Structure 1
Amino acid sequence: MDWNRWYSLKSYLRSSLWTVPLVAVAIYAVVKPLTEMLGRWMIGHDILDPKTGLFALSMTGARSLVGDIVSADLAFLVFTFGSLLVAIQVAGGQYTPRIIATTLLRDNVIRSISGLFVFTLLFANRTLGWMGDSEVHQLQVFIAALFGFASVVAFLFLIDYAAKCLRPVSLVARVGEHGIAVIESVYPDPATGRTTPPRLGHERGVPGRIVRHSGTSGIVLAVNLERLVAKARHTNSVIEFVPQVGDFVAVDEPLFYLYGDSDAIDENRLRTLVAFGTERTMEQDPMFAFRILVDIALKALSAAINDPTTAVLAIDQLQRLLRVVGKRSLYSEEITDKSGLGRVIYRTPNWEDFVHISFREIRQYGAGSIQIARRQRAAIENLLQCLPEHRHDALRVELTLLDRAIGSKHPFPEDLALARIPDSQGLGGSESSTARQPVL
C-alpha cells in the first residue's frame, strides 16, 4: 500500500468511533472459546463444581443474572450512541464543527467504554445461549458478571466524563494540548534569536519540471518528508512542495516544483508521498489548532450565542500556544540531507501568520466587548514579557490595532479607560495582578 493511502487510512481509523467496538468483537471471538475450554477443563479435573463453584447459582438464577447483563449492556449501548449523536450536534452548533473529528470522535475513553459494552453484550449473550437445561456454566457466568459489573461502573463514569468533556474549558484545553504536540513535532528546534529568513523557492529560478496534482481534489493532510529528502538526494535534485499542509489543492494544480537533475523522478511515486483528505487534521498542521480555537471564540462572540467568557477561554489557549510557538525556530523551509545540502523546500507558517490568526478576527468581532479587549491586551503584554525580542514587532502591531479598535467602539471615556486595562480574566481581575504575572 502506498504511503498516502496508508496515512489516510490511519487518520480515518483514529477519527472513527466504530473501530474500537470492532476490535472488541475480535477479542470476543478469541476470548470466548478459550474461556469455554477452560471451564470444561476445570470441570473435568474437579477444580470447579458446576453446582457449587463460584456463585453456585441455580439455572434460574444464572439465566436471570446473565439476561439482566444482556439487557443492561444493550441499554448502555443505545444510550451511549444516542447521547453521542446529540453531543456532536450540540458541540458542532455551539462551538465549531471542526472539533467533532479532531476531539470528540478521537476520544479514547468514549471509544474504549463502547468497546467494553459490545464485548460484554456478546459474551453474556453467548453465555446465555450456551447454557443447557441442566448445567450451569459457573465460570462463564462469573466472567459475564464481572464484565457486567465493570459495564455498570463504566457507564456511570461515562456520564460524568461526557458532561465534563463537553464543557468549553475542557474542549479548548484539549485542543491546546494537541496543538502544543503538533508545534513541537513540526518545529523541534528552539528559537535562535533571528528573524525568519526570506523564502528560498524564488531564488532557484524556473523549475525544471512541474508535477501537478491528479486524482481527486482535497486538502493536504501530511507529507512524507523523509522519503522526499531521500528521493531528492538519490537523484541529486531539489524538490519544492508547493502548497502548505492544510491547503486545498484542486486537480491539475502544481504540487511539486523540481530543480536540477529531475528526469529520474517518477511523478506517480512522488504523488504517493502526499496524503489528501476532505477535512484538515492536526498531525502535521500546526495552524489548525489555532483555527479551531479562533472559530470557537468567533462562534461565542456571535449575536446568536453571545458568550464572551467562552471566547476568553479560547484566548487563554491561544496565548498558551503562542508562548510555545514563539520560543521555537520557525524556519524549517529548506530541509537538508545528512551532508547538509538543501534537498526539499517545505513551507510552514511563520510567526506573523500565528499572530495574525490569533488576534485579528477575534479583535474584529470582539473589540466592542470590554471583556475581550482586556483579555487580548493581557495576552499581548504577557507575550511581550516572555518571548524573545525578535517576536515583539508583530505583537506591538496587534497592540496598536487593538487600541485603535476599542477607541472606535467605546464612545464613553470611562468605558474606554476600563477596556484598556489588561486583565487575564477578561473582566474581574485587577490591573496590578495582571502586571505581576511571572515570566515563565
Structure 2
Amino acid sequence: MAWNRRYSLNSYVRSALWVVPILALLAALALNRASEFVVQWVAMRGGYDLRHGFLDVSMEEAHAILDRVFTLNLSCLVFTFGSLLVAIQVAGGQYTPRIIATTLLRDNVIRWIVGLFVFSLLWTHRTMTEIGQTHLVPQLQVLVTTIVGLGSLMAFIVLIDYSARLLRPVALVGRIAEHGFAVIESIYPNSELDERAASRSASIPSALHTSQTCVSSGTSVVYYDGKSGVVLAANLKALVREATIAGCVIEFAVQIGDFLATDEPLFYIHRNHQTVDARRLQNFVALGTERTMEQDPMFAFRIEADIALKALSPAINDPTTAVLALDQLHRLLRLVGKQSLANREVKDAAGNTRVLFRTPDWEDYVHISFREIRRCGAGSLQIERRLRAMIENLIRTLPASRHDALTCELDLLNAQIVDSQDYESDRQLAGIPDTQGLGGTWYRSSTATKAEQSTSNAVSDTG
C-alpha cells in the first residue's frame, strides 16, 4: 500500500468512533470462547468445576444480574451516542465545525468507554445464551459480568463528568493549542531564531519564486493527476531518499493545508529530473477533504481564530470566550516567534539540500491572529484591551526582527479604537492593556506607566 493511502487510512481510524467498539466486540467473542475453554480445561485437569462456587448464585439470581447489566449497558450506549450527537452539533455551532474531527472524535477516553459498554453488552448477552443452552449457571462468567457491569456504571459516571469538562471553552481552546505546540516544534526544529535564515533561503534557487512567469530549463514540473483535495502531509524522509538516489532537488509547489486541484503543479524537480519517477513521488503526499494538524502549524491558529470569531458574532456575542481563544493565540505566537521560520530545507546524510518546502512566515501568523479578530471585535473593550496586552507583551519578549509586524498591528488597533469608541473615556479605557480583557489588575510600575502614556499618546495622535 502506498504511503499516502496508509496515512489517509491511519487518519481515518484515529477519528472514527466505531473502531474501538468493533475491537470490543471481537474481544468479547474471543474472551467468551477463552472462558469456556478454561472451564473445560480446569474440569478435565484439576477435577474442579468452575461452574460452581464464586458467587454461587441460583438460576433466578443469575438471570436477574444478567438482565440488569444488559439493560444498564444498553441504556448507557443509547444515552452516550445521543448525547454525543447533540454535543457535536452544539460544539460545531457554538465554536467551529473544525473541532469535531480534530478534537471530539479523536478523544480516546470517549472511544474506550464506549468500547467498554459494547464489550459488557456482548459478554452479558453471550452468558445469557449459555444459560439457556446448558440450563446451568456459569459462575465464572456471571462473576465477570458483575465486575464488568460495575465497571460500566463507574465509566458512565466518569464519561458524564469528562464530557462536561471537555466541552468547556477553556478546555477546547487549550487542547487545540497543545496540538499546535507539538506541530510547531516538529515543523520548526530550530528553536533559536536565526536572523540570517531568510537571506540564506533566498540564495537557494527556487522555482516557486518564478512559477508565475516561467520555469527554468533545468527544472521539471510534476503535475498532480489524482483526485482534488487538501494537502494533509508529506513523507519527507521518502522524498529525501528519492532525491538522493536521483541526484536532484525536490521542491514543493504547494504548502501543507493548500487545496490542490487536478493538473496543478505539485513538485518542481531541479537537476536530473529525467531519472525521477513522478508517479512514485505523488504517493508520498497525502490529500484529504479536511485539514489536519499533523504537519499543518497554521491550522491550530485557524481553529483558535475561528472560535474567537464565532464568539464575537452577533448571534452568540460572547467576547469572554474570544478572550480565552486569544490567550492560546498569545501562547502560540510567542512560541512561533522564537523559531526560525524560513522555508525549510531537508538535507541528506552528506549535508546536501534535497527537499524544499514552504512554511508560513511570521507575518502570516500575525495576520491570522489579529486582523479578523480585531475587526470583528471592534467596539468591545475586552477584545481591544486583550489585543493590546498581547501585542505589547510579544514586543517585549520576542526578538527585534518580529517587532515590525507587531507594531503595525498596534497602530491598526489604535486606529480601530478611535473609530469604534465614541467617548473619550472609553478610548482611554481601551488603551490600557489587560490580560483578562476587562477587569484584570494592571500593575503600574514605572515601565508600565511609560507604556500607558505612550499608548495614550498614540491613540490621541491617531484621533
Alpha-carbon displacement from aligned partner over 1:85-104 (angstroms, at most 9, x marks no partner): 01000000000000000000
Are the counterparts in 2 of residues 318 and 358 from structure 1 also a CA contact under 8 Å? Answer: yes
Are the counterparts in 2 of residues 88 and 104 from structure 1 also a CA contact under 8 Å? Answer: yes
**Cα separation, 2, equivalents of 1:433 and 1:220:** 48
Q: Are positions 1:249 and 2:250 aligned together? A: no
Alpha-carbon displacement from aligned partner over 1:288-310 (angstroms, at most 9, x marks no partner): 00000000000000001000000
Residues 295 and 268 (structure 1), Cα distance of their counterparts in 2 relative to 1, 3 Å cut: same
Aligned to 1:39: 39
TM-score scaled by structure 1?
0.95
Alpha-carbon displacement from aligned partner over 1:58-79 (angstroms, at most 9, x marks no partner): 0110011011111110111111
Matches within 5 A, 1:148-159: 148-159=149-160
Matches within 5 A, 1:39-438: 39-44=39-44, 45-47=46-48, 50-51=51-52, 53-132=53-132, 134-194=135-195, 196-197=198-199, 199=202, 200=204, 201-202=206-207, 206=216, 208-432=219-443
Secondary structure at 1:229 match in 2: helix
**Cα separation, 2, equivalents of 1:40 and 1:389:** 76
Secondary structure at 2:275 match in 1: coil
Secondary structure at 1:432 match in 2: coil
Deviation at 1:344, TM superposition (A): 1.2
Deviation at 1:191, TM superposition (A): 2.1
Secondary structure at 2:230 match in 1: strand
Are the counterparts in 2 of residues 193 and 388 from structure 1 also a CA contact under 8 Å? Answer: no
Are the counterparts in 1 of residues 39 and 51 from structure 2 also a CA contact under 8 Å? Answer: no
Which of structure 1's runs of 4+ aligned residues deviate more than 4 A? 46-49, 202-205, 433-436
**Cα separation, 1, equivalents of 2:337 and 2:444:** 24
Alpha-carbon displacement from aligned partner over 1:102-157 (angstroms, at most 9, x marks no partner): 00000000000010001111111101111146411100000111111000000011
Are the counterparts in 2 of residues 212 and 252 from structure 1 also a CA contact under 8 Å? Answer: yes
Q: Which amino acid aligns with 1:214?
A: D
Higher deviation after alignment, 332-341 or 17-26: 332-341
Are the counterparts in 1 of residues 251 and 267 from structure 2 also a CA contact under 8 Å? Answer: yes
Deviation at 1:27, TM superposition (A): 1.6
Are the counterparts in 1 of residues 66 and 124 from structure 2 also a CA contact under 8 Å? Answer: yes
Higher deviation after alignment, 155-164 or 335-344: 335-344
Are the counterparts in 1 of residues 39 and 50 from structure 2 also a CA contact under 8 Å? Answer: no
**Cα separation, 1, equivalents of 2:421 and 2:49:** 81
Higher deviation after alignment, 6-15 or 319-328: 319-328
Q: Which amino acid aligns with 2:84?
A: L
Secondary structure at 1:163 match in 2: helix
Residues 333 and 374 (structure 1), Cα distance of their counterparts in 2 relative to 1, 3 Å cut: same
Deviation at 1:49, TM superposition (A): 5.4
Alpha-carbon displacement from aligned partner over 1:374-399 (angstroms, at most 9, x marks no partner): 00111111112222222222111111
Deviation at 1:41, TM superposition (A): 3.2
Secondary structure at 1:276 match in 2: strand
Higher deviation after alignment, 200-209 or 116-125: 200-209
Alpha-carbon displacement from aligned partner over 1:167-204 (angstroms, at most 9, x marks no partner): 10110010011110111111111123416335441478
Listed as ranges, the gaps of 5+ residues in structure 2 are 449-463
Deviation at 1:367, TM superposition (A): 2.3
Are the counterparts in 2 of residues 193 and 390 from structure 1 also a CA contact under 8 Å? Answer: no
**Cα separation, 2, equivalents of 1:42 and 1:412:** 86
Secondary structure at 2:443 match in 1: helix
Of all paired residues, the percent bearing the same amino acid is: 54
TM-score scaled by structure 2?
0.91
Deviation at 1:352, TM superposition (A): 1.2
RMSD value, Cα: 1.7
Residues 49 and 139 (structure 1), Cα distance of their counterparts in 2 relative to 1, 3 Å cut: closer
**Cα separation, 2, equivalents of 1:155 and 1:188:** 41
**Cα separation, 1, equivalents of 2:262 and 2:335:** 36
Count residues in correspondence. 435
Deviation at 1:48, TM superposition (A): 5.0
